[in-house]
């Protein structure tokens, strides 16, 4: 798919940056004229992906998180969240509902939630090297708009 626009940002893995990442994603996605529901879905998915990087990738230190957003042809929004943290030993297992490495205060539903709000979800990870989560969502053109 041909790229029509993009942004890339990087921030420390501090929980205070999760809200900023969510707001930045919503602001970038606004150029596609999403409905409030679509915008809410995008913000939720970004919150989950960024929170996963903050909580799981760097459990004992502050690291780097990168977020890249692209608008692809066909009204498709692609969001990539990348970290250089501890990585995921078993991605398939990590994507199962209720599985968590974050202790009893974590639900283990992050990837499940992301998958339910996005059209496509892929997770690539290497232990000791980091994780990249790529999400795609097609934004439906509104009636009467081109």
Q: Is 52 marked active-site?
A: yes
Q: Is residue 144 part of a domain?
A: no
Q: Which of 106, 124, 136, 138 is catalytic?
A: 106
Q: Is 137 marked active-site?
A: no
Q: Is residue 143 part of a domain?
A: no
Q: Which of 17, 22, 38, 48 is catalytic?
A: 48
Q: Is residue 111 part of a domain?
A: yes
Q: Is residue 79 part of a domain?
A: yes
What is the residue-averaged pLDDT of the chain? 89
Task: Say what percent of the chain tops pLDDT 70.
Answer: 86
Q: Is 38 marked active-site?
A: no
pLDDT at 103 (0 to 100): 52
Q: Which of 18, 52, 70, 137 is catalytic?
A: 52
Strand blocks (E) in the chain:
3-12, 64-72, 76-83, 120-126, 130-138
d(Cα 130, Cα 124) in Å, to the nearest integer? Answer: 9
Q: Is residue 58 part of a domain?
A: yes
Q: Is residue 145 part of a domain?
A: no
The tens digit of pLDDT for each residue in 79-125 reads 999 999 999 887 777 767 555 555 555 555 668 888 889 999 999 99
Range of the domain at 21: 3-138
Q: What is the CATH number of the domain that holds 13?
A: 3.30.565.10
Q: Is residue 48 part of a domain?
A: yes
- First-last CA distance in the chain: 19
Structural domains counted in the chain: 1
Q: Is residue 146 part of a domain?
A: no
d(Cα 135, Cα 45) in Å, to the nearest integer? Answer: 8
């Amino acid at each position: 798919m041909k790229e029509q626009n993009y942004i890339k940002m990087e921030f420390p893995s501090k929980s205070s940056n999760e809200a900023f990442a969510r707001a930045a994603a919503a602001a970038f996605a606004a150029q596609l004229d999403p409905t409030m529901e679509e915008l809410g879905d995008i913000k939720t998915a970004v919150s989950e992906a960024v929170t996963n990087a903050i909580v799981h990738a760097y459990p004992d230190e502050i690291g780097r998180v990168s977020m890249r957003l692209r608008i692809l042809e066909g009204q498709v929004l692609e969001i990539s969240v990348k970290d250089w943290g501890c990585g995921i030993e078993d991605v398939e297992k990590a994507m199962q509902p209720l599985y968590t490495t974050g202790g009893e205060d974590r639900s283990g539903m992050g990837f499940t939630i992301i998958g339910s709000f996005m059209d496509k979800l892929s997770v690539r990870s290497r232990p000791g090297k980091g994780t990249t989560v790529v999400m795609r969502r097609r934004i439906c053109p509104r009636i009467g708009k081109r």
